[in-house]
Amino acid sequence: MPPDAPSPAPDLAAARDLLRRVWGYDDFRGLQGEVIGTLLAGGDALVLMPTGGGKSLCYQLPALLRPGLGLVVSPLIALMQDQVEALRLLGVRAAFLNSTLEAAEANRIERDVLEGRLDLLYVAPERLLTPRFLGLLERTALGLIAIDEAHCVSQWGHDFRPEYLGLGVLAERFPRVPRIALTATADEVTRREMRDKLRLEGAGSFVASFDRPNLRYVVVDKEDARAQLLRFLRTEHGGDAGIVYRQSRRAVDQTAAWLVEQGISAVPYHAGLDAETRSHHQRRFLREEGVVVVATIAFGMGIDKPDVRFVAHLDVPRSLEGYYQETGRAGRDGLPATAFMTYGLADVISMRRLLASGGAGDEVKRVEQRKLDALLGYCETVACRRQVLLGYFGEAYEGPCGNCDTCTNQVDTWDGTVAAQKALSAVARTGQRYGGGHLVDVLLGKSTPRARERGHDKLPTFGVGSDLDERTWRSVLRQLVATGLLQPDADGYGALRLGAGASAVLRGERDVRLRRDPERVAPRRVKARPSATGLAAADLSGEAAARFEALRAWRATAARAQGVPAYVVFHDATLRAMAELAPADLDALSTVSGVGAAKLARYGAQVLAVVAGGAADEAEDGGEGFLFDPV
């Protein structure tokens, strides 16, 4: 059918019907329904939703309903294959075209496009923009164009892709085809650029809340980061997949090796490893269950594994933007997940020093200063973390959320004026040349060789801080650096000087309130279970937990047999629901969210056998049946 032949516009009821039949989901989430309605009516849409918000459905579903091909532009080549495999398992006729394909395969797909044998085609921007490919599209009935990761058009962002600037041409070449641009990047500048550069002037704007309610935010005072991580993994995330971020390659290698020694399947990932090792480790993370990747921030973009159960920052992140993006990789499937950070004096010092020593101009420095203050403010807050985080992105959130460490472990403040005076005076009297360790020794009155050598044991400040313990002094110093009352030397080794406002404190003209760091943040309450099943199975009853385990084992076999990641077969949330419901027949199984017609036909019998307590027969393949006839 030519694209502009009159045909009744499919409505939302038809869309909901398809949602149930193909995806097995009950209803739309958030703004999905409105976005889909706009596209079905022939309009354009600009969609901002957080990671895990359900963006893909916004274009996949209307692409199936509208006559013609749904074209998806995506910069993430590594991801296309998984997305296409997942769609095929749903019975959708999907394919991708990128540089990884052999010429013969690419030709075959182009023929499929021309002959209307595809519902969805994923393509990299550089290929899309070739005159040859644009020509091919002009001979094709197009139903919809989706531009994923649309923030890549922004020259100010981290992910700028020059080819994205060329995508505006689609507006001229295909004026009648509805276009949708999607991103998880929220800021106003990016939004404007998307609208301008992608020529989406008339597009409806759909901006979701950027809250991720299933993420629990936890920031703990750093004592021994590795030991704290291990305790966190053992108490809350046994057997879970997750990402541990570290700042340096060396720290990545050491942490990964150490976790392996502790019996955790961990792999390192950073730009210093050769490409083959990197892709092997990424593949293990995606395909195996319960793998922990220890990585620099080089890892993550384009990872859309839905069942990442935790993201841990053992070093402080670069900015709140970075933190939000990195932690956002946890819990895409909507099940509980944790964003964990250890943060201490050394982190604050290195962040402040970095800023002071950077060669940037004044204007840039001011912006960076503001960003750093926001990040430190988040770390040091005694208020609900979610409120602070969303507030930074301009979203008013009525806290407290009840799902962050400051909400579940009420954090007190104390009058730290006298402590601050003691600390600042120790800095002043030792000549503003020493780092945190020595200052704490002086405050506590520890007669170390260095203290004696420098005559610091004779100072009036020597030992004035013996009323507080070492951990508290480190906390005091950390907070003084965080608020700028102490300032690290730009090029020293963590030496601290008095910062602006310090003299007012010393003269007693300014009070200082400090946060009382809790001894330990109580872990998320997870019932003790015999198995190492992680957070996804938390609070399942004994029998249901056993079924969940059995289903997980079956899923691993089925996924291996088909060469796809486990979550492509079924998500954890779907397995959980199956384990709880214990369906006795296909009808009952079909009511589980995430079980659509194609998967029911392919896996239904096997799942029922596993649930009934028997072993499923060899994960045999029911064949690839497509649900849709060519339009």
| Candidates 195-203, 319-327, 340-348, 381-389; binding stretch for Zn ion (CB under 5 A) | 381-389
Provide, rounded to whole angstroms, the least separation between the CB of residue 221 and Zn ion: 18
| Candidates 4-12, 378-386, 491-499, 591-599; binding stretch for Zn ion (CB under 5 A) | 378-386
Q: Which does 404 bind (CB under 5 to 8 A by kind): Zn ion, ligand ADP, none?
A: Zn ion
Helix, strand or coil, per DSSP, at residue 474: helix
Measured from the CB atom, is 74 or 387 closer to Zn ion? 387
Residues 6+ apart with CB under 8 A from 346: 222, 436, 494
Measured from the CB atom, is 153 or 219 closer to Zn ion? 219
Residues in touch with ligand ADP (CB under 6 A): 25, 28-29, 32, 49, 51-57, 304, 306, 332-334, 571, 593
Residues 541-570 that bind Zn ion (CB under 5 A): none
Provide, rounded to whole angstroms, the least separation between the CB of residue 323 and ligand ADP: 17
Q: Which does 57 bind (CB under 5 to 8 A by kind): ligand ADP, Zn ion, none?
A: ligand ADP
Query: Do residues 589 and 607 lie in contact, with contact meaning Cβ atoms separated by under 8 Å?
Result: yes
Provide, rounded to whole angstroms, the least separation between the CB of residue 339 and Zn ion: 12
Q: Whose CA is closest to 180, among 313, 38, 315, 354?
A: 38
Q: CA torsion angle for 385, 387, 391, 395 (degrees, to 10)?
A: 140
Provide, rounded to whole angstroms, the least separation between the CB of residue 50 and ligand ADP: 7
Q: Which does 448 bind (CB under 5 to 8 A by kind): ligand ADP, Zn ion, none?
A: none
Residues 6+ apart with CB under 8 A from 175: none
Measured from the CB atom, is 76 or 348 closer to ligand ADP? 76
Measured from the CB atom, is 343 or 570 closer to Zn ion? 343
Q: Which does 25 bind (CB under 5 to 8 A by kind): Zn ion, ligand ADP, none?
A: ligand ADP
Strands 496-498 and 179-183, how do they pair? Answer: unpaired
Q: Whose CA is closest to 55, among 304, 311, 336, 396?
A: 304
Measured from the CB atom, is 174 or 310 closer to Zn ion? 310
Provide, rounded to whole angstroms, the least separation between the CB of residue 100 and ligand ADP: 22
Q: What angle do CA 439, 255, 252 make, to 5 degrees?
A: 95
**CA 259 to CA 105: how far, in whole Å?**
42
The two tokens of residue 114 are: 């021309």
Measured from the CB atom, is 23 or 174 closer to ligand ADP? 23
Helix or strand (DSSP H, E) at 107: helix 103-114
Contacts with Zn ion, 327-366, as mask; x by CB under 5 A = ----------------------------------------
| Helix axes of 470-482 and 345-357: crossing angle, nearest 10 degrees | 30
Provide, rounded to whole angstroms, the least separation between the CB of residue 389 and ligand ADP: 18
Provide, rounded to whole angstroms, the least separation between the CB of residue 333 and ligand ADP: 5
Measured from the CB atom, is 264 or 407 closer to Zn ion? 407
Residues in binding contact with Zn ion, number by CB under 5 A: 6
Residues 188-227 that bind Zn ion (CB under 5 A): none
Q: Which does 214 bind (CB under 5 to 8 A by kind): Zn ion, ligand ADP, none?
A: none
Q: Which does 401 bind (CB under 5 to 8 A by kind): Zn ion, ligand ADP, none?
A: Zn ion
Q: CA torsion angle for 60, 62, 68, 72 (degrees, to 10)?
A: -40
Q: Which does 386 bind (CB under 5 to 8 A by kind): ligand ADP, Zn ion, none?
A: Zn ion
Contacts with Zn ion, 384-423, as mask; x by CB under 5 A = x-x-------------xx--x--x----------------
DSSP state of 22: I
Q: Which does 93 bind (CB under 5 to 8 A by kind): Zn ion, ligand ADP, none?
A: none
Q: Which does 29 bind (CB under 5 to 8 A by kind): Zn ion, ligand ADP, none?
A: ligand ADP
Q: Which does 54 bind (CB under 5 to 8 A by kind): Zn ion, ligand ADP, none?
A: ligand ADP
CA atoms within 13 A on the CB side of 223: 13
Provide, rounded to whole angstroms, the least separation between the CB of residue 142 and ligand ADP: 22
Determine the distance from the C-alpha atom of residue 238 to the mean position of all C-alpha atoms in its chain, rounded to a whole number. Answer: 20
Amino acid at 332: R
Per-residue three-class SS string for 579-613? HHHCCCCHHHHHCCCCCCHHHHHHHHHHHHHHHCC
Provide, rounded to whole angstroms, the least separation between the CB of residue 583 and Zn ion: 37
Helix, strand or coil, per DSSP, at residue 79: helix
H helical segments located in 486-541: 502-506
Query: Do residues 409 and 518 lie in contact, with contact meaning Cβ atoms separated by under 8 Å?
Result: yes
From residue 545, give the alpha-carbon distance in Å to each of 285, 398, 548. Answer: 23, 35, 5
The two tokens of residue 403 are: 């799902």
Q: Which does 238 bind (CB under 5 to 8 A by kind): ligand ADP, Zn ion, none?
A: none
Provide, rounded to whole angstroms, the least separation between the CB of residue 396 and ligand ADP: 22
**CA 373 to CA 570: how far, in whole Å?**
42
Q: Which does 570 bind (CB under 5 to 8 A by kind): Zn ion, ligand ADP, none?
A: none
For 281, other C-beta atoms within 10 Å of its C-beta total 22
**CA 219 to CA 144: how far, in whole Å?**
43
Residues 6+ apart with CB under 8 A from 62: 15, 36, 39, 40, 70, 143, 144, 178
For 120, other C-beta atoms within 10 Å of its C-beta total 24
Q: Count, in order, helices (H) and strands (E) of the chain.
A: 27, 17
Q: Which does 384 bind (CB under 5 to 8 A by kind): Zn ion, ligand ADP, none?
A: Zn ion
Provide, rounded to whole angstroms, the least separation between the CB of residue 360 and ligand ADP: 33
Measured from the CB atom, is 50 or 499 closer to ligand ADP? 50
Measured from the CB atom, is 61 or 256 closer to ligand ADP? 61
Which residue has 């002043």 as its token pair? 428
Provide, rounded to whole angstroms, the least separation between the CB of residue 387 and Zn ion: 6
Provide, rounded to whole angstroms, the least separation between the CB of residue 407 and Zn ion: 3
Site residues for Zn ion per CB under 5 A:
384, 386, 400-401, 404, 407
